[in-house]
Amino acid sequence: MPSPTAVLSGPSDPSDASRLDVAGALLSLLRETTTEPRPDLRLEALTLAVAADLPVLLWGEPGIGKTAALTQLAAALDLPLTTVIASVHEPSDFSGLPVIGDDPAEQGVPMAPPDWAVRLVRAGRGLLFLDELSTAPPAVQAALLRLVLERRIGALRLPPAVRIVAAANPRASAADGWELSPPLANRFVHLQWTHDPETVVRGLGGIWPRAVLPRLDPGRLPEAVALARRAVCGLLAARPALVHRLPSGETRRGGPWPSPRSWEAALRLTAFATAAGSSRDVLSSLVRGTVGDGPGLELLAFLDRMDLPDPETLLADPAGAVLPERGDRRQAALDAVVAAVRERPERSRWDAAWTLLSRAAETGAPDLVVVPATTLAALRRADWDVPAAIEGLAGVVGLSRRADRAAHRAAERAGSGARGGR
């Protein structure tokens, strides 16, 4: 057995150093990865929020790859990455340390920023990553408010080209976790970061999806801003209770909820998603992560209604009308047509609506016309002849009603059988 002195003196064989070099070479090979352009809704939502210059908070279980995603994002955007572990810092690290000068009574006491903030200002650009946010105590969270909203640390203001992204674990899986304070939570776009098995497998094989900033169409910028403003303002005018709604539960207060600040962020994200041509899934993730699930879904529904064809245009030319392809939007368009006929019931408009329903049944799912056809039939006046288009729809409506009655009878039989077996 070697003596303690021999162990502490280091390797006795000079070849041991070269063995470490070989180990280092192997580690370098394992770190070598590449990227490929591949659709990734999470990455697209993250890069869109970063482009919109909004602070983002990634929520996910430990080991899910939040830090790795931020490292790859910084490299892809060619931004220097500055990582700050929020939970190991004091409030003064974010608000600034007092520095007493020659004459405090005349000059005051300036608040000196930390070194990482000075480096970001000198670089003029960068990605500031606030990690482990949910383990930061309330005093530190309070000190972060000004940094996240105003980009100020002590006497310094971060340059406009610095973006802020944070990461947090749910309280149940965080070490000494805290719920986020409502003022801090309301400043972020909250994105749920979950693992995709295919992405993980390809990434471990050395190929990760490539993070790229969204390509905004310069020609659509005014249209995107107008659409976003009409949607958000129209929804809040119709639903004023949604303007500000602080959740009652502590956990929900630490997530996204509607306020004038978060609605402004939702408006900005809607404009960016429209200009970038992003999918509805990406926009849904962003607006629900800004104002919450309920208000976010209401905004998406309002956008859908705005994008529907004018029912008067459809009634004016039912034979040549173009109906939405997506089922829910087609259903909404047909309901709007029937509502328009109800508001101004005239024989020509009633006939045109039947022609439109007939076309809808021929070009899409027939069951979508059952409810509007039933409602439209009830609007018939005694002196209005039954149009020929109704005959083609009679089978669809009748079959649907028979199916409903059969399902109802089956449910009754199942219920009586369950009661008899007790």
* Of residues 119, 188, 208, the one with CA closest to residue 158: 119
pLDDT (0 to 100) of residue 105: 58
Q: How many helices (H) and strands (E) does the chain have?
A: 20, 11
Number of CB atoms found within 10 A of residue 370's CB: 20
SS3 89: coil
| Mean predicted confidence (pLDDT) in 387-416 | 55
* Of residues 220, 221, 230, the one with CA closest to residue 299: 230
Q: To which residue do tokens 């000075």 refer? A: 118
Q: How far is CA 383 from CA 374, 379, 386, 412, in A?
A: 19, 12, 10, 41
Residue 399 has pLDDT above 50, yes or no: no
Residue 267 has pLDDT above 70, yes or no: yes
Cα–Cα–Cα angle for 61, 65, 71, rounded to 5 degrees: 135
292: left (phi over 0), alpha (psi -120 to 50) or beta: left
Show the tokens assigned to 206. Answer: 């050395």
Give the predicted TM-score (pTM) of the model. 0.74
pLDDT (0 to 100) of residue 403: 38
| Mean predicted confidence (pLDDT) in 219-231 | 94
Report domain extents, the chain. Answer: 38-99+108-209, 218-306, 311-416
Q: d(Cα 327, Cα 325) in Å, to the nearest integer?
A: 6
Cβ proximity of 119 and 155 under 8 Å: no
Confidence of residue 292 (pLDDT cuts 50, 70, 90): very high
Q: d(Cα 50, Cα 288) in Å, to the nearest integer?
A: 16
Q: What are the phi and psi torsion angles at 169 (to 5°)?
A: -100, 145
323-330 long-range Cβ contacts below 8 angstroms, 24+ apart: 323/356, 323/359, 323/360, 323/363, 323/364, 325/364, 327/364, 327/365, 327/368, 328/304, 329/304, 330/360, 330/364, 330/368
| Mean predicted confidence (pLDDT) in 369-378 | 85
Angle between helix 347-363 and 327-343 (nearest 10): 170
Among 246-250, 299-303, 343-347, the minimum mean pLDDT is found in: 246-250
| Mean predicted confidence (pLDDT) in 216-228 | 93
Q: How far is CA 92 from CA 86, 89, 96, 136, 325, in A?
A: 12, 8, 5, 13, 57
Residue 160 has pLDDT above 70, yes or no: yes
State the average pLDDT for the chain: 83
Higher pLDDT: 336 or 388? It is: 336
Q: What are the phi and psi torsion angles at 104 (to 5°)?
A: -60, -30
pLDDT (0 to 100) of residue 278: 93
Cβ proximity of 103 and 58 under 8 Å: no
Residue 307 has pLDDT above 90, yes or no: no
pLDDT (0 to 100) of residue 8: 47
Cβ proximity of 154 and 117 under 8 Å: yes
Q: d(Cα 170, Cα 251) in Å, to the nearest integer?
A: 10
- Burial of residue 271 (number of CB atoms within 10 Å: 0-12, 13-18, 19+): buried
Q: What are the phi and psi torsion angles at 82 (to 5°)?
A: -120, 115
SS3 34: strand
Residue 359 has pLDDT above 90, yes or no: no
Q: d(Cα 311, Cα 288) in Å, to the nearest integer?
A: 29
Cβ proximity of 87 and 140 under 8 Å: yes
398-405 long-range Cβ contacts below 8 angstroms, 24+ apart: 400/367, 400/370
* Of residues 49, 55, 46, the one with CA closest to residue 73: 46
Among 182-186, 257-261, 357-361, 394-398, the minimum mean pLDDT is found in: 394-398
Which CATH number, 3.40.50.300, 3.40.50.2300, 3.10.350.10, 3.40.640.10, labels domain 38-99+108-209?
Answer: 3.40.50.300
